[in-house]
Structure 1
Amino acid sequence: MDYGGTGEGSGGSGRGGHHDKKKRYHRHTALQIQILESTFKECPHPDEKTRMQLSRELDLAPRQIKFWFQNRRTQMKAHHERADNCALRVENDKIRCENIVIREALKNLVCPTCGGGPPIGEDCYFDEQKLRFENAQLKEELDRVSSIAAKYIGRPVLQLPPVQPFHMSTLDLSMASYASSRMPMMHGGPSLDLDLVTGSAVGSSSSNINLDHSMFQNPMVPLSDMDKSLMAGIATSAMEEFIRLVQNNEPLWLKTPKDAVETLNLESYKRVFPDRCDSFKNPNVRTEASRVSGVVTMNSLKLVDMFVDSIKWSELFPSIVSRARTIEVLSSGSLDSQSGYLQLMFEELQLLSPLVPTRQLYLLRFVQEIKQGLWAIVDVSYDLPQYNPYSHPRFKVRRLPSGCLIQDMPNGYSKVTWVEHMEVEDVTPINRLYRDFIYTGLAFGAKRWLACLQRACERTASLMTTSHDLGGVIPSSQGKRSMMKLSQRMMTNLCSSINPSNGHQWTSISGMSEFEVRAILYKSTDPGQPNGSVLSASTTIWLPISPQNVFDFFRDSRTRPQWDVLSNQNPVQEVANIAIGTHPGNCISVLRAYTPSQNNMLILQESSTDASGSLVAYCPVDLPAINIAMNGEDPSYIPLLPSGFIITTDGHHEMATKGGPSTATSDPTSDQATTSTGSLVTIIFQIQTNSLPSAKISQESLTTVNNLITNTVHQIKGSINASSTTT
């Protein structure tokens, strides 16, 4: 750097007739600059004695030393003025935007009860006075900042072009509780950069609407710019809370003695997040909050891509997500990645039983790349009363900041930490069979989400393996892929039949048997399904054996004649097997039943199990259709009408471990408290009833499906009891 041009040349002369010549400047050496800089840090205004000492030490004229310090002070002053100017402009823009938002909120204030103008009452009066007081403070602050900034830019800041509130960084929106808090360090590493949706990313991104309008009773109402700003602020706040939930351990999270699942310590949560205390004032609201970590066989980029696509999201979790739709994309993220992606979406969550109502949620989903190979995805509820035809009268549910932290591992796998946090208000009692299973948080908790994700990723990874056939029946990898695609469609069909779309309701036909059987008639949307209506009937029973034993009983071809009424107790042979996971029970099978009347009929079956439960789906398929799939051809139009079993723990043991009220004995409706472990088994049968889409449930169809379920239940219980007696 060149400081202290003296105009004296290298020898310090430069007087007299040399004024008409171009001045020569002295370039200091690196050592001279280093010594001058170190002296400047200690004393920016050296006295004459110090300048003389530097002159002798550096072999420079005293005047050069003086000029160098003058120039250095001028440069530092200019640097500080530029920095102060930028900071003041940002602060001023923030205050202006907050002022605009407050004025708009007062202007559009609507009474939530009657829909009229600003409500009149004591609370409203004080709220309005508070807003007016804050607005006056903002104006005073704005004037102060404007006067200070005017010294640096030569004009009042108020003359700057207006800044729209939805064009600024969401970190500057003080719309949520934790938007201004500073993020802690992650495991001793660098602090997390949460400048999530900046610049014009939210305001200028094109609205990408992808809706099934049959989901809504009212037409879509466009989101205003202020709505988008509020959503961005809420998403940012949710991301910060989620990161803190991931980072903190005890006492915020308490480990359960049985497994690696952690539950939220509500007292500690209230201290860490005091602004959430309003949620605990309603005694009827219960909290479901859990955290779990595990490894999945997929890298972070593929996972993020599946999470932001509502269709892929539904396919990834068919047993949990019955429906998902993207309402609007508020920010599409950065150009080279999904970081900063923000969307408003509708999601319906299910437990695979008609006895448990679905949970419908409007969510903001926010994606952020914390650093390379580390992604955070957070969901948080966002109330949209005008789009809420699915509000269930039996409960109210709200998802607090939840989601997953995905970290790449060297082998192409990912470590996933899942946090699930919900508040649920049950208006009517939960069905007695599922009471403990739901109260323990197993039904919709983090353990179930992660287990389903691991199973889905294992299934995808199995496409790359070569061990796929039994006896050389499936000749190629294309045949394996086609068979897996066919079986996946069968599984999805079975899961969607529990809670079909378009508002269908279950009809109880329990009077026809000693246990409750429910039926529903719906129009199948499966492309391979013939036109007409499908009757789906279901019941849930309790069995006094572990879920693993029940799963082994159903998937074993040797025990199939004991419960499959369609096989007429004839032996069944497995002719092909495709492994779709590390567990031996995760597989696709092709079975042949030795029935003289149906030599051309095979059974396609898929069984899958994980830490959250098990599922066995099966469907009769004729031999030519199986050959199409095995030869690698497109199986999309092969008709499927699957039936199956969903198996979960009853939750009694987990409830007793947590010290809660268990209701388990040989009869799950008993009030005696024990810790016996049993299983809940949901049995589903589907039959084609009529080629007319508008057909209604006939008594003949109800009798047929009821007899089918009743006989199956009797055979299952008889076989289980006989096996238990033998053991």
Structure 2
Amino acid sequence: MDPQNKYARYTNEQLEILELVYNECPKPSSLRRQQLMKEAPILANIAPKQLKVWFQNRRCREKQRKETSRLHGLNSKLTALNKILVENNDHLAKQSTQLTLQKHTLRKHLYGDCSSQRPPMEASQVCRGALAAGSSEIAGTSELPNIQHLSLDHGPVGLSALAEQSLADFLAKATGTAVDWIQLLGMKPGPDSFGIVAISHGCDGIAARALGLVALEATRVSEWRIVEVLKDKTSWLWDCRRSDVIHICSSENGSTMEIMHTQLYAPTTLAPPRDFCTLRLTTSLEDGNLVVCERSISDAECLSYVPSTQYFVRAEMLTSGYLVRPCEGGSCIVHIIDHLDLKPSSVSEVLTRPLYRSSSLLAQRMTVKALRFLKHLAQEEIGEIVVGGGQQPSVLRSLSRRMARGFNDAVNGFPDDGWCTMGGDGLDNVAVSCNATINFSLSKFQSDRLSSLAGVLCAKASMLLQNVHPSYLIRFLRDHRSEWGCNMDFFQQDAASRSHGKRQAHVPLFHTAKEDFLEAVILEGHYSAEDGTILSREIYLLQLCSGIEDEDIDGCSQLIFAPVDANLSDDMPLLSSGFRVLPLCDDMDDIVKRQSDSEELRSGKRKNHKFARSILTIAFQFMYEVGTRDTVAEMARNYIRNVMDFVQRITLSLAASSLGSSSADAPFVSSKGASLIHQILQSYSVSHGVDIIPRNFTDKDAIVMLFWHYAAAIICCSLKATPEFVIANQAGLQMLETKIEELQTVSWERTIGYGLDSELAKLLREENGELPEGIAQTSKGKRVCYERGLVWRVDEQHLALMFVNWSFQAGI
């Protein structure tokens, strides 16, 4: 290096050595640089400072190269997204043209020349005519691909023409205006966005559309692989029990036509499952786009291919499918259309029919699922998915799918899988099925009990929930497992033990944003051995959570778990149990209103989220040994009923916190007041042996809500010569006809103390007791009669009273 020259010039040999060192250590220390100069004499003429500068510049160039690559990728995404937005804008312009034509035709009919002798037309005829005119005009300008090249001459008679018509219908839905789409909130496009999701309005059946960009740069995914993944529904659609190719034929141009038979699980115990007999066409268009379109064929057409199936309701798939459009930069724009008629009228339970009339539920459970699965695969292959437990993403994904399918199998209980229904105990709210055909040969846990295991029992039930968002309830059940699940968790491990869990730890395994995530749950507890000694024990659960982070789409939320070994493996047995909450959303106006509520929530104009009704399905599985089936079945029934009672109590609190009206909200309570409420409820459990709240319950806000909305009137007063009211729940305030801020000014003698002082003094000597049927007065002098009253000591300074079945006395 020339000492007079400010810049160092390096030979090719020097650069080769420096690059090797940089690849090993991009930021070597001064000691390492000095050692390098000694080991490589060829670098002896380079000053230590210049050597340091070279590594700094090399790191800067690497950083610039990565940033340039990132910007190129971002530019490709934005270019593709701009193409999507331009197409959406064109579609909106076409819809605007149709509406203008309708408006013009209606205006001409209503306000036209009165001397016209034309007979008046019905409004519906005018609308149909305008739509037809608009559609023909749009069809003339729409760039629909030429489909005349499709001639499936080798297919069954009549199905070739049906396939060609299906292709035309599908392209009209995917790239035209054949369906009126309403975009869901939270799906705005952007370089890192998920995509655009829309649901149908005013068409036959229910329909949903997803449009997104799948970035395939630096991956091995091709357009044809995307098509094959989407066609394999059992790999990504957990609600799909099976999808069989019954008949297949190909054409000379490479198109494939298949007769398909697909079975879908029922999402709840209150409705039967669905199946479809469809014609599926896979083809490549002249512009390079790939299309998979599918639609139902009539029973007469599919009778020779698909045998009749019991337990299923034959539903109809209107033209649906996938359109894959390659873009510059290695990405693809994927259009997904699902259009179904699930025959809601065939559901005997009228309450659950909205499940089969909800386009938003279809979007979340099927359409969005497909697009997210594609994005997930692409992220896996470039290493963006972070996994735990030392497992490969494919293994954890397989475990997630098996857990979901196992839970669906338990809920449906298909006889061809070995399930048979057991007789009930006179109460029909819990159903129990048994399966003695499940193979335990692969089981690694409890190997000492394998020889005595006889089968599996499943106890399941469904119940209606009011004003609780599905994600709120599932999140609560996940975070408070110790209050409902420990006995069942340990029972699943050993039916002979009686265990109690003390602590739980969550270990994330597999998580993607706003999607399902898989985790390991470690439960620590103790159990009583046969000799009476107390032994410690840890059990492990594999837990799958869905829909607890996404509240923009009104979809399904579920919590599924299964006992496992400490070492996860792909072939380990999974006995899935859990909860599933499905919203009952049937009215499009209700969907739009709920989306408006979500906007207000994000803007801060409202503090709570309104939600109407939903269906909770519970299914727990238990192993039983030889000769213990009936005993375990009785235990399972009682346990499910206890869980249902727990959920009902918790739902009351969660529903109150989610209501938007101020009249339903509990008043502000200080920390001291919240502690007093907790003491009131806990002391009631001790004195009367009945739990108002679950034991070990620690959520203060939920406790206040439970107290505030409890059906019976609860009133707490101070223990003085003349008692003074301290706090009351909503029913107690209504009974006294007062407000919370005016409670302490209400007179004891003129209200509760009316004719009660003598009995109360006797009860206080016994710490607690029961009041017979009696009469009290409100703060306004109105008589109140109650069927029964309970009195108990809260602490040394407070007394609590509960009045059951009270009412204002008539005529007073």
With normalisation by structure 2, the TM-score equals 0.49
Shift of 1:322: 1.4
Cα gap change, 1:641/1:418 in structure 2, threshold over 3 Å: closer, same or farther? same
2:433 paired with 1:519: yes
Matches within 5 A, 1:374-523: 374-382=289-297, 383=299, 384-386=302-304, 389-390=307-308, 396-410=314-328, 414-423=332-341, 425=343, 428-443=346-361, 445-461=362-378, 463-464=380-381, 465=383, 468=386, 474=389, 476=390, 478=392, 481-501=394-414, 503=416, 507=421, 513=427, 515-517=429-431, 519=433, 521=435, 523=437
- Contact kept, 8 Å, 2:344 with 2:353, in 1: the verdict is no
- Contact kept, 8 Å, 1:325 with 1:346, in 2: the verdict is yes
Give 2:174's match in structure 1, choosing from 246, 252, 275.
246
Give 2:474's match in structure 1, choosing from 546, 551, 572.
551
Q: Identity rate of aligned residues, in percent?
A: 17
Q: Secondary structure at the match of 1:637?
A: coil
Q: Secondary structure at the match of 1:717?
A: helix
CA shift digits 1:495-535 (9 cap, x unpaired) = 33333555467748776557353535473479846896433
Give the residue type in structure 2 aligned to 1:555: R
Q: Secondary structure at the match of 1:495?
A: helix
Rounded Cα–Cα distance in structure 1 between residues aligned with 2:162 and 2:416: 31
Shift of 1:327: 0.9
Rounded Cα–Cα distance in structure 1 between residues aligned with 2:181 and 2:474: 31
| Alignment partner, residue 679 of structure 1 | 614
Shift of 1:602: 0.9
Give the residue type in structure 1 aligned to 2:407: L
- Contact kept, 8 Å, 2:540 with 2:563, in 1: the verdict is yes
Shift of 1:388: 5.1
Q: Secondary structure at the match of 1:582?
A: coil
| Alignment partner, residue 560 of structure 2 | 617
How many residue pairs end up in the alignment? 458
Q: Secondary structure at the match of 2:537?
A: coil
Cα gap change, 1:424/1:604 in structure 2, threshold over 3 Å: closer, same or farther? closer
| Alignment partner, residue 200 of structure 2 | 263
| Alignment partner, residue 340 of structure 1 | 255
2:288 paired with 1:370: no
Matches within 5 A, 1:628-639: 629=568, 635-639=569-573
Cα gap change, 1:534/1:253 in structure 2, threshold over 3 Å: closer, same or farther? same
Cα gap change, 1:347/1:718 in structure 2, threshold over 3 Å: closer, same or farther? same
Rounded Cα–Cα distance in structure 1 between residues aligned with 2:332 and 2:147: 22
Q: Secondary structure at the match of 1:347?
A: strand
Shift of 1:682: 1.3
Rounded Cα–Cα distance in structure 2 between residues aligned with 1:467 and 1:424: 35
Matches within 5 A, 1:189-200: 189=143, 191-195=144-148, 197-198=150-151
Q: Secondary structure at the match of 1:719?
A: helix
Rounded Cα–Cα distance in structure 1 between residues aligned with 2:354 and 2:258: 34
Rounded Cα–Cα distance in structure 2 between residues aligned with 1:652 and 1:287: 12
2:331 paired with 1:331: no
CA shift digits 1:411-430 (9 cap, x unpaired) = 65543333333345556444
Q: Secondary structure at the match of 1:711?
A: helix
Deviates more, 1:484-493 or 1:505-514: 505-514
- Contact kept, 8 Å, 1:652 with 1:677, in 2: the verdict is no
Give 1:713's match in structure 2, choosing from 620, 640, 644.
644
| Alignment partner, residue 605 of structure 1 | 543
CA shift digits 1:74-105 (9 cap, x unpaired) = xxxxxxxxxxxxxxxxxxxxxxxxxxxxxxxx
Which ranges of structure 1 fall in alignment gaps of 5 or more residues?
A: 1-180, 204-226, 267-285, 630-634, 660-674
Rounded Cα–Cα distance in structure 2 between residues aligned with 1:457 and 1:639: 27
2:224 paired with 1:305: no
- Contact kept, 8 Å, 2:320 with 2:339, in 1: the verdict is yes
- Contact kept, 8 Å, 1:321 with 1:347, in 2: the verdict is yes
Matches within 5 A, 1:226-237: 228-237=156-165
Q: Which has the higher contact order (CA 8 A, sep 6+)?
A: 1
Give the residue type in structure 1 aligned to 2:642: N
Cα gap change, 1:640/1:714 in structure 2, threshold over 3 Å: closer, same or farther? same
Shift of 1:699: 3.5
Shift of 1:395: 5.1
2:565 paired with 1:643: no
2:242 paired with 1:314: no
Matches within 5 A, 1:18-167: none
- Contact kept, 8 Å, 1:374 with 1:408, in 2: the verdict is yes
Rounded Cα–Cα distance in structure 2 between residues aligned with 1:456 and 1:294: 12
Cα gap change, 1:520/1:401 in structure 2, threshold over 3 Å: closer, same or farther? farther
CA shift digits 1:181-240 (9 cap, x unpaired) = 999879865x51325654xx763xxxxxxxxxxxxxxxxxxxxxxx71322221121111
Give 1:536's match in structure 2, choosing from 436, 439, 458.
458
Shift of 1:343: 1.0
- Contact kept, 8 Å, 1:459 with 1:580, in 2: the verdict is no
Cα gap change, 1:676/1:412 in structure 2, threshold over 3 Å: closer, same or farther? same
Give the residue type in structure 2 aligned to 1:616: L
Cα gap change, 1:532/1:451 in structure 2, threshold over 3 Å: closer, same or farther? farther
CA shift digits 1:147-206 (9 cap, x unpaired) = xxxxxxxxxxxxxxxxxxxxxxxxxxxxxxxxxx999879865x51325654xx763xxx
- Contact kept, 8 Å, 2:546 with 2:557, in 1: the verdict is yes
Rounded Cα–Cα distance in structure 2 between residues aligned with 1:341 and 1:426: 32
Shift of 1:553: 1.7
Q: Secondary structure at the match of 2:637?
A: helix
Q: Secondary structure at the match of 2:544?
A: strand
Shift of 1:593: 0.8
Rounded Cα–Cα distance in structure 1 between residues aligned with 2:307 and 2:167: 28
Rounded Cα–Cα distance in structure 2 between residues aligned with 1:722 and 1:361: 41
Rounded Cα–Cα distance in structure 2 between residues aligned with 1:648 and 1:685: 18
Rounded Cα–Cα distance in structure 2 between residues aligned with 1:393 and 1:643: 22
Rounded Cα–Cα distance in structure 2 between residues aligned with 1:187 and 1:615: 46
RMSD: 4.1
CA shift digits 1:604-656 (9 cap, x unpaired) = 11212264322322111132xx2xx3xxxxx2432221111222222167564
Rounded Cα–Cα distance in structure 1 between residues aligned with 2:258 and 2:409: 24
With normalisation by structure 1, the TM-score equals 0.55
Rounded Cα–Cα distance in structure 2 between residues aligned with 1:341 and 1:712: 51
Cα gap change, 1:393/1:547 in structure 2, threshold over 3 Å: closer, same or farther? closer
